[in-house]
């Protein structure tokens, strides 16, 4: 819960609108359950999605943070003209739009989780949906992760297509049994009789000084569960497309969102589209080295890529997006071209996505490699609270630059 | 005989759903009189068991006004027709004979793993499940063979599953503790304690959703969640009681309190062993019933299922029963007191029903014998069928991991997106 205002705080930096703290018509969010005694006691979310955070010092922090996270999105940041096709929105709004379109399309699609209804979701992904669809389709559950996740599975077995929100991805550790045994295995143990078309989603990753428990990357824990698919979104465009694809999939899908990316802004098409759940996204084609990344680290990589380009390197950046199964088609083609692989992830060093990816690449494309795979991961520590320590926990752009330089020697 | 079944002791829970303030029925003193598992004795011994009358009279400790009024008007629910009596008898005999055969087959090396037998608890499965419609759902535990049979899954399919054959109800992929049947709405055997209860709650949520969101007015499907006394100390039990009562879901929580969680006595594990009392704490009726008496179970089940079907919300039913065998076939069952076992053996629910049917002239000895003979053949046939069925082929291994094979990295054209031989070999061949 303490994590909630973090992402919204980050919006300040992105928001093009000037401060406008009090506006009674806008949604006012008192931090009633704020644990940390923050100075920021209110947040104003404007109907257009821009947000203002009620604390000067926090805003500065957010500013600093967001330059880190999204410094390299020149294409979307500059888009101001209304004449361009498509519409501009923030990532959390893109998720919401995808959700709403699917709920309009199929009455069996429903949402359940903590504070998804009246409160609108801890990161506002379900804002307004309860008003539109009613309390049963957008179900506020008690704080009982294992049970409401199991309930989602039971509902999925009997014909619904529930989206279960983990208020914070870390909370889903409390639902691990349901996710593993019933989500992952039940289709198999039932001999294929029952499908579990469920989507489990929520904010994860290392935020900004949220402490160890709210900064977890559960993909490493979930990846070995048989029978589930995992995707990580990183832009408003793919957030919406992946959300829609996940809802339509007959497989149980875990959709990873990142607390620091909710307020990314991008222009997305007006017409309907969905993304392929199993496909990686080519972010920047290049020749010298393949950099595989996903979620927030995509932006650290792109920041590093700028420096690298200035230094004369031509890196190919791929957002793998599908964490299970890996898109070895796209990844393999890239490796066959560059013969060098750098993996940059926020996941844990031991047993993380990078480790699995390394294994998969070694197994399948070893003959094409000119150098050992380099994998930059988070340190194997509980994410510290202190800002400096936290920064050293996750991979920073400078490390990426150094790694590429070494790899391409 | 009929009077012996009539329940006499009622407790109105802190009645949130029912509103008759003029009739103060709540009498906490009465709830404590007859419960087998007295907190004062770890091994409830002679005193209570030597007084079958006392026990019988107060076997049903209940429930809401709804239940009470009905019962006061007539005890006709306990009366059954001949057809009903024979159906119950047949179902219970099937459960017993099937499980006995499982033990044989296990010791003969035809089935493996953990096999939990239901002997002794048949009155609960039969008493509840035979009242259901096909569309109603059942969620079971690891002790699930008999629930499956009562719900209508053919003995052949259950036995084949236990033999690990392709003709099993889950193609040999589930096993003893994971029986499923979509056709019969058996939503599963769940092997971990408590994990089936949320799934059952979800199925009940679906019923409500279909009725209220999808406007399927005729959707009155009920879900039964079966679990044991050990589960009642697990969080998912409490969490789901709360959610089910909160949203008035059409579900019945059926506790099969057989007094033992493997080797942990219910009384050593539970601060207040009267599980049914936890219903009123969540605003739903809690009922205690003699789980060794199929007619009493059936009576309570009728009321609880009816409540759920009418949209009046969930009920918690505690059936006090006993398993005649060890926890599983791997359990030497050395811990439980032989006297305790003998006492319950004397209350065998099948013997009791047989006695009742004959004494009340609902059936003749010969008719019951004929049923036993028929069931014997059904079980024999199930074994023959299972034994003759094929073992799964290697190609089956990777089927059913994903409902949509894209989960393996297989594209819309049915081919791997990555055609590298290293990737495709040894992974999925769907």
Domain boundaries, chain B: 82-388, 399-424
For the segment B385-392, the average pLDDT, to the nearest whole number, is 98
- What is the spatial distance between Cα A373 and Cα A355, in angstroms, rounded to a whole number? 10
Which is more confidently placed, B2 or A316?
A316
Number of H helices, E strands in chain B: 18, 10
pLDDT at A10: 40
For the segment A38-47, the average pLDDT, to the nearest whole number, is 37
Among B61-75, B117-131, B232-246, name the one with the lowest average pLDDT. Answer: B61-75
Residues of A in contact with B139 (CB under 8 A): 154
- A145 catalytic per annotation: yes
Q: Which CATH superfamily is domain B82-388 in?
A: Thiamin diphosphate (ThDP)-binding fold, Pyr/PP domains (3.40.50.970)
Among A346-350, B14-18, B364-368, name the one with the lowest average pLDDT. Answer: B14-18
Six token digits for residue B181 = 């049947």
Which is more confidently placed, A23 or B151?
B151
Residue A111 has pLDDT above 80, yes or no: yes
Q: What is the pLDDT of residues A79-100, one digit of tens each?
A: 444 567 899 999 999 999 999 9
Optimal mutation site among B174, B199, B282, interface A, most CBs of chain A within 10 A: B199
- What is the spatial distance between Cα A374 and Cα B83, in angstroms, rounded to a whole number? 74
Q: Which residue has the tokens 């098409």?
A: A269
For the segment A290-319, the average pLDDT, to the nearest whole number, is 98
Residues of B in contact with A328 (CB under 8 A): 409, 417-418, 420, 423
| ipTM for the complex shown | 0.84
Same fold, A88-268 and A281-407: yes
The answer to whether the Cβ–Cβ distance between A364 and B180 falls below 8 Å is no
pLDDT at B77: 52
Q: Which of A187, A214, A258, A288 is catalytic?
A: A214
How much of chain B exceeds pLDDT 90, in percent? 76
Among A158-167, A241-250, B403-412, name the one with the lowest average pLDDT. Answer: B403-412
For residue B225, the distance in angstroms to the closest alpha carbon of chain A comes to 12
Q: Which of A145, A165, A257, A266 is catalytic?
A: A145
Residue A139 near residue A165 (C-beta atoms within 8 A): no
- A187 catalytic per annotation: no
For residue A288, the distance in angstroms to the closest alpha carbon of chain B comes to 22
Residue B87 near residue B134 (C-beta atoms within 8 A): no
pLDDT at A83: 67
Q: What is the pLDDT of residues A115-154, one digit of tens each?
A: 999 999 999 999 999 999 999 999 999 999 999 999 999 9
Residues in A 223-252 with any Cβ partner in B closer than 8 A: 226-229, 249-251
- What is the spatial distance between Cα B385 and Cα A110, in angstroms, rounded to a whole number? 43
pLDDT at B418: 86
pLDDT at B260: 96
Residues of B in contact with A142 (CB under 8 A): 239, 242-243, 246
- What is the spatial distance between Cα B255 and Cα B240, in angstroms, rounded to a whole number? 13
Q: What is the pLDDT of residues A161-174, one digit of tens each?
A: 999 999 999 999 99
Q: What is the pLDDT of residues A276-288, one digit of tens each?
A: 999 999 999 999 9
pLDDT at B78: 66
The answer to whether the Cβ–Cβ distance between A193 and B180 falls below 8 Å is yes
Cis peptide before A135 (omega within 30 of 0): no
For residue A238, the distance in angstroms to the closest alpha carbon of chain B comes to 18
pLDDT at B425: 72
pLDDT at B427: 59
- What is the spatial distance between Cα B74 and Cα B91, in angstroms, rounded to a whole number? 27
Residue B187: CB atoms within 10 A of its CB come to 30
Residues of A in contact with B201 (CB under 8 A): 147, 150-151, 154
For the segment B224-243, the average pLDDT, to the nearest whole number, is 97
Optimal mutation site among B418, B419, B421, interface A, most CBs of chain A within 10 A: B418
Domain ranges of chain A: 4-86, 88-268, 281-407
pLDDT at B145: 98
Q: Which helix H or strand E contains B376, and what residues bound it?
A: helix B365-388
Q: What is the pLDDT of residues B389-410, one digit of tens each?
A: 999 999 899 899 999 999 998 8
- What is the spatial distance between Cα A313 and Cα A307, in angstroms, rounded to a whole number? 9
The answer to whether the Cβ–Cβ distance between A251 and B404 falls below 8 Å is yes
For the segment B135-147, the average pLDDT, to the nearest whole number, is 98
Residue A114 has pLDDT above 70, yes or no: yes
Candidates B137, B239, B422; nearest CB to A147:
B239
The answer to whether the Cβ–Cβ distance between A187 and B407 falls below 8 Å is no
Residue B70 has pLDDT above 80, yes or no: no
pLDDT at A60: 42
For residue B170, the distance in angstroms to the closest alpha carbon of chain A comes to 4
Contacts 24+ apart (CB under 8 A), A310-315: A311/A401, A311/A405, A313/A286, A313/A288, A313/A289, A313/A404, A313/A405, A313/A408, A314/A286, A314/A287, A314/A288, A315/A284, A315/A286, A315/A288, A315/A289, A315/A290, A315/A291, A315/A342, A315/A404
Candidates B168, B170, B417; nearest CB to A278:
B417
The answer to whether the Cβ–Cβ distance between B198 and A325 falls below 8 Å is no
- The CATH class of the A281-407 domain is alpha beta
- What is the spatial distance between Cα B233 and Cα A315, in angstroms, rounded to a whole number? 56
We find that the CATH architecture of domain A88-268 is: 3-Layer(aba) Sandwich (3.40)
Residues of B in contact with A107 (CB under 8 A): 213-214
Candidates A149, A189, A328; nearest CB to B178:
A189
Residue B291 has pLDDT above 50, yes or no: yes
Q: Quick check: A173 contacting B, CB < 8 Å?
A: no
Give me the sign of the Cα torsion angle B10, B11, B17, B21: positive
pLDDT at B79: 81
């Amino acid at each position: 819960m303490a994590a909630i205002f973090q992402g919204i705080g980050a919006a300040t930096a992105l928001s093009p609108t000037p401060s406008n703290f009090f506006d009674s018509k806008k949604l006012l969010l008192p931090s009633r359950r704020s644990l940390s005694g923050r100075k920021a006691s209110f947040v104003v979310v404007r109907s257009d999605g821009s947000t203002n955070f009620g604390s000067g010092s926090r805003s500065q922090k957010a500013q600093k943070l967001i330059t880190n996270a999204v410094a390299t999105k020149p294409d979307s940041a500059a888009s101001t003209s209304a004449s361009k096709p498509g519409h501009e929105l923030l990532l959390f709004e893109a998720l919401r739009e995808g959700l709403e379109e699917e709920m309009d399309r199929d009455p069996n699609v429903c949402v359940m989780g903590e504070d998804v209804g009246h409160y609108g979701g801890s990161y506002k992904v379900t804002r307004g949906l309860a008003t539109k669809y009613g309390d049963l389709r957008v179900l506020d559950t008690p704080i009982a992760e294992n049970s409401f996740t199991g309930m989602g599975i039971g509902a999925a077995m009997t014909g619904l297509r529930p989206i279960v929100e983990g208020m914070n991805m870390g909370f889903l550790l409390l639902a691990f049994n349901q996710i593993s045994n019933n989500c992952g295995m039940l289709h198999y143990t039932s001999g294929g009789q029952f499908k579990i078309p469920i989507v489990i989603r929520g904010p994860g990753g290392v935020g900004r000084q949220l402490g160890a428990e709210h900064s977890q990357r559960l993909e490493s824990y979930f990846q070995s569960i048989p029978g589930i698919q995992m995707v990580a979104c990183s832009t408003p465009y793919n957030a919406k497309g992946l959300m829609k694809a996940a809802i339509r999939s007959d497989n149980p899908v875990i959709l990873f969102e990142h607390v620091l990316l909710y307020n990314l802004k991008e222009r997305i098409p007006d017409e309907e589209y969905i993304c392929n759940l199993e496909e990686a996204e080519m972010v920047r084609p290049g020749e010298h080295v393949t950099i595989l990344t996903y979620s927030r680290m995509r932006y650290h990589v792109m920041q590093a890529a700028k420096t690298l380009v200035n230094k004369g390197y031509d890196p190919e950046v791929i957002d793998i997006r599908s964490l299970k199964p890996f898109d070895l088609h796209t990844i393999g083609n890239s490796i066959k071209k560059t013969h060098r692989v750098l993996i940059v992830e926020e996941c844990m060093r031991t047993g993380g996505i990078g480790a699995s990816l390394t294994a998969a690449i070694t197994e399948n494309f070893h003959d094409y490699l000119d150098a050992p795979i380099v994998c930059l991961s988070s340190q194997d520590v509980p994410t510290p609270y202190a800002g400096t320590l936290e920064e050293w926990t996750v991979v920073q752009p400078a490390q990426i630059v150094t790694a590429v330089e070494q790899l391409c020697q | 005989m009929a009077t012996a079944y009539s329940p006499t002791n009622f407790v109105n829970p802190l009645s949130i759903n029912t509103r008759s303030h003029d009739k103060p029925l709540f009498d906490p003193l009465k709830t404590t009189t007859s419960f087998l598992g007295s907190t004062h004795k770890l091994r409830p011994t002679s005193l209570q068991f030597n007084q079958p009358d006392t026990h019988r009279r107060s076997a049903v400790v209940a429930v809401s006004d709804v239940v009470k009024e009905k019962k006061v008007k007539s005890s006709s629910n306990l009366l059954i027709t001949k057809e009903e009596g024979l159906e119950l008898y047949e179902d219970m005999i099937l459960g017993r004979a099937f499980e006995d055969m499982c033990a044989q087959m296990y010791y003969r090396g035809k089935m493996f793993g953990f096999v939990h037998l239901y002997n002794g608890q048949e009155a609960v499965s039969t008493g509840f499940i035979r009242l259901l419609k096909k569309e109603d759902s059942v969620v079971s535990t690891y002790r699930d063979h008999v629930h499956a049979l009562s719900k209508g899954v053919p003995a052949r399919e259950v036995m084949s599953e236990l033999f690990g054959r392709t003709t099993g109800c889950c193609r040999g992929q589930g096993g003893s503790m994971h029986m499923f049947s979509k056709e019969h709405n058996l939503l599963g055997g769940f092997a971990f304690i408590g994990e089936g209860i949320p799934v059952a709650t979800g199925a009940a949520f679906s019923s409500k959703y279909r009725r209220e969101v999808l406007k399927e007015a005729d959707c009155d499907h009920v879900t039964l969640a079966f679990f044991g006394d050990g589960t009642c100390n697990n969080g998912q039990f409490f969490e789901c009681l709360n959610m089910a009562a909160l949203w008035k879901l059409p579900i019945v929580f059926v506790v099969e309190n057989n007094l033992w969680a493997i080797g942990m006595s219910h009384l050593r594990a539970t601060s207040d062993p009267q599980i049914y009392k936890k219903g009123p704490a969540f605003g739903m009726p809690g009922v205690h019933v003699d789980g060794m008496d199929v007619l009493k179970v059936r009576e309570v089940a009728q009321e609880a299922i009816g409540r759920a079907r009418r949209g009046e919300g969930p009920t918690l039913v505690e059936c006090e029963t006993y398993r005649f065998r060890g926890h599983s076939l791997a359990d030497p069952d050395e811990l439980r007191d032989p006297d305790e076992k003998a006492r319950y053996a004397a209350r065998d629910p099948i013997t009791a029903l047989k006695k009742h049917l004959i004494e009340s002239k609902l059936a003749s000895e010969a008719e019951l014998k004929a049923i036993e003979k028929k069931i014997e053949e059904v079980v024999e046939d199930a074994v023959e069928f299972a034994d003759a069925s094929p073992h799964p082929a290697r190609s089956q291994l990777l089927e059913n991991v994903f409902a949509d094979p894209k989960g393996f990295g297989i594209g819309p054209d049915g081919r791997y997106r990555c055609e590298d031989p290293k990737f495709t070999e040894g992974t999925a061949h769907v």
